[in-house]
């Protein structure tokens, strides 16, 4: 199932500078796997120890997947997935 | 060099002292190519910590959506240090991902309360830059035309 994925500036070197790409999957995990096959190297920027990287935010529409089912969060065809790097520091 | 409005400097310091001892954070947005950022957005520190900050993810999503709609970019990321000076910490450098942004630090700690400094953080290195504070009604239009 195709879904839209918005790519943040810092990951656009991996997506040929595209701001928005179309990927596939019924869950966030599947979408990330499919992104990885399209744009190798993106998975390791998004995941750490098989979880969403602590300083990477992934949203389905406007919901942070940390407050849903994490990587098992389901996506529908009309959904937009947004990836944003966290702004953080000490 | 960072060119910043005097009202923004005042707003950042006011927020930092109001939220002390928790670290305060936020950003200033501008149009790409413009020298002086024009819209300050205070952010919620989701970490609620005296030694760490993280933009609240839900609020960040909303701000980034608005930014896209209005074709703005984050030009300044700011936060406070409430127990130390306005120097970037190892974590600040580690988490900085935008080579085009100015990273502004303010201190509300004893010793140098109100200290404000700006840095570029590129390839895990922070380089301090000068801050030029301008008054909106006089300088800003000229700045924008100069583009």
Which residues of chain A lie closer than 8 angstroms to B60, CB-CB?
57, 84, 86-87
What does the alpha-carbon distance between residue A77 and residue A25 come to, in Å, rounded to a whole number?
9
What does the alpha-carbon distance between residue B65 and residue B69 come to, in Å, rounded to a whole number?
6
CA count, 13 A, side-chain hemisphere, B74:
26
Establish if A78 belongs to a structural domain: yes
Query: B2-140 belongs to which CATH class?
Result: alpha beta
Beta-bridged to residue B129, according to DSSP, are: B118
Burial A49-84 (b: 16+ CB within 10 A, else e): eeebeeebbbbbeeebbeeeeebebebeeebebbbb
Which residues of chain B lie closer than 8 angstroms to A88, CB-CB?
47, 52-55, 91, 95
- Taking only the tens place, the pLDDT of each residue in B11-65 is 999 999 999 999 999 999 999 889 999 999 999 999 999 999 999 999 999 999 9
Give whole-number Cα distances, B130 to A47, B2, B94, B106, B146, in Å: 37, 6, 22, 14, 20
Confidence of residue B107 (pLDDT cuts 50, 70, 90): very high
How is residue B40 written in tokens? 């300050």
Report ipTM (2 d.p.). 0.92
Give whole-number Cα distances, B119 to B11, B86, B134, B138, in Å: 19, 10, 18, 26
Measured between CB atoms, does A9 come within 8 Å of chain B?
yes
Establish if A90 belongs to a structural domain: no
CB B92 to CB A90 under 8 A?
yes
Residue ranges making up the domain that contains A35: 2-85
CB A87 to CB B58 under 8 A?
no
Give whole-number Cα distances, B116 to A39, B12, B29, B90, in Å: 41, 9, 18, 18
For residue B146, pLDDT over 70 is answered with: no
Going from N- to C-terminal start, the domains of chain B cover: 2-140
Establish if A25 belongs to a structural domain: yes
CB A87 to CB B61 under 8 A?
no
Mean pLDDT computed over B76-100? 97
Total domain count, chain A:
1
Which residues of chain A lie closer than 8 angstroms to B61, CB-CB?
57, 59, 62, 64, 82, 84
Establish if A38 belongs to a structural domain: yes
Confidence of residue A26 (pLDDT cuts 50, 70, 90): very high
B86 neighbors B114 (Cβ within 8 angstroms): no
Residue A44 CB neighbour total at 10 angstroms? 10
pLDDT at residue B144, as a whole number: 45
Beta-bridged to residue B29, according to DSSP, are: B39, B74
What does the alpha-carbon distance between residue A67 and residue B61 come to, in Å, rounded to a whole number?
14
Which residues of chain A lie closer than 8 angstroms to B97, CB-CB?
10, 85
Give whole-number Cα distances, B104 to A87, B2, B41, B139, in Å: 13, 9, 14, 21
What does the alpha-carbon distance between residue B138 and residue A51 come to, in Å, rounded to a whole number?
51
Mean pLDDT computed over A10-39? 97
**Could you tell me how many CB contacts below 8 A there are between chain A and chain B?**
62
Q: What is the CATH number of the domain that holds A43?
A: 3.10.20.30
Instruction: Work out the percent of chain B whose per-residue pLDDT is above 70.
Output: 93
Question: Position of tokens 């380089």?
Answer: B127
Measured between CB atoms, does B61 come within 8 Å of chain A?
yes
CB B25 to CB A87 under 8 A?
yes
- Taking only the tens place, the pLDDT of each residue in A47-90 is 999 999 999 999 999 999 999 999 999 999 989 999 999 999 99
How is residue B43 written in tokens? 């952010």
């Amino acid at each position: 199932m195709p879904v839209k994925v918005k790519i943040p500036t810092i990951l656009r070197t991996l997506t040929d500078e595209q701001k928005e790409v179309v990927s596939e999957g019924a869950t966030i995990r599947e979408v990330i796997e499919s992104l990885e096959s399209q744009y190798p190297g993106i998975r390791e920027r998004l995941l750490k120890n098989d979880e969403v990287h602590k300083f990477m935010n992934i949203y389905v529409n406007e919901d942070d997947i940390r407050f849903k089912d994490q990587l098992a969060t389901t996506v529908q065809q009309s959904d937009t997935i947004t990836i944003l790097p966290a702004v953080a520091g000490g | 060099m960072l060119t910043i409005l005097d009202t923004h400097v005042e707003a950042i310091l006011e927020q930092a002292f109001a939220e002390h001892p928790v670290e305060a954070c936020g950003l200033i947005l501008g149009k790409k190519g413009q020298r002086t950022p024009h819209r300050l957005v205070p952010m919620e520190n989701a970490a609620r910590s005296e030694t760490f900050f993280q933009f609240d993810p839900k609020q960040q999503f909303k701000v980034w959506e608005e930014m896209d709609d209005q074709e703005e970019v984050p030009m300044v990321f700011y936060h406070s240090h409430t127990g130390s000076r306005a120097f970037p910490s190892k974590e600040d450098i580690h988490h900085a991902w935008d080579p085009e942004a100015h990273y502004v630090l303010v201190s509300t700690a004893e010793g140098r309360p109100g200290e404000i400094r700006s840095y570029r953080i590129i390839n895990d290195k922070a380089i301090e830059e000068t801050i030029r504070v301008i008054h909106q009604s006089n300088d800003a239009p000229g700045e924008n035309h100069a583009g």
